[in-house]
Chains A and B, each alone.
Chain A
Amino acid sequence: MSDTTDSSAPIATEAPPEAINASCRGPVLFLFFSAALWLVDAAGIGVLGSFKVHMPGFLADCPLFTYGRLQANAWVAFLFGFAGNAGLGITLWMLSRLRGMPLARPGFVVAGTILWNAGVTAAMVGISLGDQSGVAGLELPKYASRVLLIGQAFIAFSAILTYFSRRHKQLYPSTWYLIASLVAFPWIIGTAHWLLVEAPVRGAAQIPLGHWAATSLVQIWLGCIGLAAVIYFIPKIIQRELYSRQWTFLGFWMLLLLGGWVNLNSGAPLPVWQIKLSQLASGFFLLVVIAVSWNLRQTLKGVPLLSSEDLTLRFMGFALSAWIVAGLLTFCNVCPSWNAILQFTYANTAIRHLFAWGFFAMSMIGAVYYVAPRLIGPTLDWPCARIYHWIYRFIAVGVVIVVLAGVGMAYRHGLALQSTGIESEVLQSRALMPMRAAFLGEVLFLVGSLIFLGSMLCLLVRNCCGECSLMSLWRQCRSTKVEGGAK
């Protein structure tokens, strides 16, 4: 698990874990707490939007609360608010630990986080006021993109300095994924910003571009961070070496190549070769799924994940399962008839939720569960550790409901769309049925998010009271030389 050093070159001394945790404490906790706030925001707005499926007239007189604006805001809050903050926080901490060096220039991270959160806020205000881009899955207004890019650059600067502050003989595979995530974000958002906003390409060319950007953000950006966490924490907790770097190698490069191409609708108004390219990529995506899952299966060999006593392992296990299922559903798009049935239904949204909530959110919340107490103090644990289990339960059940309702019932909707002579009323009720059933899952996700935020608050507030105040602990941690936390 730990990297070995190259004896032929001068290598800086590896910093002790407590020093690394201390260097990450302020910036990374700031990112984690921001993530928890945005997660509640995203889940709450999502539930509000979905409630309109039950009552179309609810808040209908206010233009801020149209279904389209709420859905866009919910996704932006999740993708950039929660995923951005949590992902960057975990990236910084993992890079520091994997390089064995304290976080470099934490001030840049704090500044970057402030900018990043300002960008997300600007995006949400902009969308509410009608400035959304019109690209489903990437509704950022142009000014928000700029702020986010600058914010990420600040944070990435710190990450890069940390990375190059010490040389290693071998890079742990999680590092590849983290480097890719840091490069992919400006690449994707920069392309989308330039070619959709600053110098927009013509007409239908925006469709594959928007699809590529939205899909890459999910599959590559989130995928890399989430898989980095899964590949890092599972072997670490079960204290085994990762089975094969070669399998990881295959999965990594295939993910980068294919991640932006998959899942294009077979009925998209585009030249046939683009649709065929996407189907081919969806087919080859099976290799990514096999590479990652086989590697981790061989690493685990008999160690249960979902029924593990260790909560982080359970989170990671669920995240891995959700990623595999989402990957297999992506693979199904190799079959045009399957895609033709589901392309205009709720299924795509449900699969996106499976990826975003089931895989990414679970992996990040699991990682936060492991990392956050160690950042505050070596002997600390969550104030109410048992209640953290409920986050797992609520989100897991919520995701299962969303996916079963979304894909199962949406299939009936898709079949109805492919039939002739069905009344529009019947068609509409079939379209709404999966969304209504998935509403329960969304509510459970909101409850899980609230508990996560509450837990984060308790963790911070408890340590702000009396002798256990955050400040005194911080001083104590800085002076202590012993840390019991895992590396």
Chain B
Amino acid sequence: MNKAPLVFLGVLFTLSLSWWGMVYSPAIQLGGETPDKGDGTALKPRVGLARQGEQVYRENGCYYCHTRTATGGQFGYKLQITRLDLNGTITDSAIGGADKMLPVIKQAYRFKAVAKAADALKTELGKTEGKSDAAIKAAKEAKATAVKEVKSAELNLEKNLKALGISGVSLDKDLSLECGLPAEKNATQKKLVANAQVTITSGIKQWSDIEAKVKKLKAAKARFRLQPVASDWPDRQNLVAMRQSVSRDFLFDAHAMPGVMRIGPDLSNVGGRLIGADNDAYAHIYNPQSTGKSSHMPPYRYLFHRKKITEDEALPTTAITVTIKGDKRSVEPGYAVTPTAKARALLAFLKSLRTDSALPEAPIVEQAAATSAGTREK
């Protein structure tokens, strides 16, 4: 350490190591990210007004008071059966404590049996050679028995439709009537069948708790879905966001600004909350206290045009209004306030901030039923 060139080279080498760890490696990894969402769709780049809005957000230093970083948390799994295999059998032990769901699953197997018997009868009737009355009779009896078993279950219509949905079979009109189902299903009933699933864990259980069940379902060749449910996940439970923020949420940002402090609310999913609320958003930016709510956000009046109007003059349609106790009036009495191009750009940018669609690395997390009363998104 007494040779200056050695110290100099050592410093350069050590700084290079530091650079390699936190600059080069992340740049290589994150620079290779693609917009593919894994379901045939892709993340869309921010263009036009929204892109200009990012500049407005940056130049005003909004990132000092707002983050765009919804954090992760603890979650459990909701295990849902969505389709049964004809030859598989699901027992009580496979679904454990969800025995209330067992009748629906059993009914789904009965529907499968009905469909199988109906197909067998059709085959017998459709034979041109070697048709046997005895075989037809046996097939008819088998079908009648299967239908009888379906009807004997005494489930209500909703459960029957759900069972039909997870059975995966399609019954014709006559067969539907025989089984006690409507011949023509209305839209709600069709949706019930199409989205049928049977939930067998509530979402509190961790993976280790349900791993055995998942193995049994796989053995029974059932199709199932694992839906994460927030258990100790403040940002999700407080409706800050629908899922955790990840690096690809910043993929098309010209300047990635994850934010410094949460003096104001997190904005990672603010776009999802601003749908159809342009006027309210403008009113909040113009005067955060305009609706009478407590807020310490500074007003950004310079982002708006103000034009004095008389009492008789009607407000332009583009004017920003507030509704207080049913009375709709200008956000600033005596003035018509309209957004400038910068305000419109800022709002377009805010509306582009959304985390309400799933990414493979960040699935949408369900809200646990008991903790649904979040208030922070306001």
Chain A residues close to B by CB (< 8 Å): 52-53, 56-58, 60-63, 66-69, 71-72, 129-136, 163-164, 168-171, 173, 175-176, 179-180, 183-184, 187, 191, 195, 200-212, 216, 220, 245, 249, 253, 256-261, 265-271, 274, 277-278, 340, 344-346, 348-349, 417-425, 427-428, 431-432, 435
Contacts and interface: CB of A to CB of B under 8 A. Distances in A.
Interface in B293-313: 293-302
Interface in B246-302: 246-266, 288, 293-302
A384 B256 CA distance: 49
Given A346-B261, A424-B375, A431-B262, A71 B27 contact: no
B27 A205 contact: yes
A63 B246 CA distance: 32
Nearest to B238: A420
B371 A428 contact: no
B60 A169 contact: no
Nearest to A64: B302
B11 to A, nearest CB: 5
A486 to B, nearest CB: 24
Contacts, number: 253
Contact of A207 (B7, B254, B258): B258
B264 to A, nearest CB: 7
Contact of B300 (A60, A136, A274, A345): A60
B260 A136 contact: yes
Given A67-B61, A203-B251, A269-B246, A134 B375 contact: no
B299 A212 contact: no
B247 A270 contact: yes
A268 B70 CA distance: 9
Contacts of A187: 12, 15, 19
A278 B371 CA distance: 33
**Which of B22, B29, B252 gathers the greatest number of chain A CB atoms within 10 Å?**
B22
A130 B59 contact: yes
B67 interface: yes
B17 A191 contact: no
Given A183-B12, A269-B258, A71 B33 contact: no
A271 B12 contact: no
B263 A428 contact: yes
Given A71-B64, A134-B255, A202-B30, A60 B301 contact: yes
Contact of B19 (A129, A191, A420): A191
Contacts of B63: 68, 134, 136
B261 A345 contact: yes
A203 B256 contact: yes
Interface in B1-15: 1-2, 4, 7-8, 10-12, 14-15
Contacts of A130: 55, 58-60
A68 B234 contact: no
Contact of A72 (B23, B61, B254, B259): B61
B376 A257 contact: no
Interface in B217-239: 234, 237-238
**Which of B60, B256, B294, B296 gathers the greatest number of chain A CB atoms within 10 Å?**
B256
Contacts of A345: 261-262
Chain B interface main SS type: loop
Contacts of B302: 61-63
Contacts of A195: 23, 27
Nearest to B55: A130
A62 B31 CA distance: 38
Contacts of A210: 256
Given A206-B255, A418-B234, A427 B247 contact: no
Contacts of A420: 234, 237-238, 371, 374
Contact of B376 (A176, A259, A427): A427
Given A187-B15, A209-B27, A431-B261, A203 B2 contact: no
Contacts of A349: 260-261
Contacts of B374: 420-421
Contacts of A271: 26, 29-30, 247
User: What 3 pairs between A and B have smallest CB-CB spacing?
Assistant: A68-B61, A130-B59, A204-B247
A62 B260 CA distance: 23
B44 interface: no
Interface string B347-371: 0000000000000000000000001
Contact of B11 (A66, A71, A179, A348): A179
B250 A259 contact: no
Given A136-B260, A422-B376, 4 more contacts: A68-B60, A220-B18, A420-B371, A421-B374
A210 B255 CA distance: 10
20 contacts: A60-B298, A67-B64, A68-B63, A134-B58, A179-B4, A183-B11, A201-B30, A203-B248, A216-B18, A256-B11, A260-B21, A269-B246, A269-B250, A420-B371, A421-B371, A424-B376, A424-B378, A428-B294, A431-B261, A431-B263
A432 B295 CA distance: 11
A63 B60 contact: yes
B247 A68 contact: no
A253 B14 CA distance: 7
Contacts of B256: 134, 203-207, 210
Contact of A256 (B15, B245, B249): B15
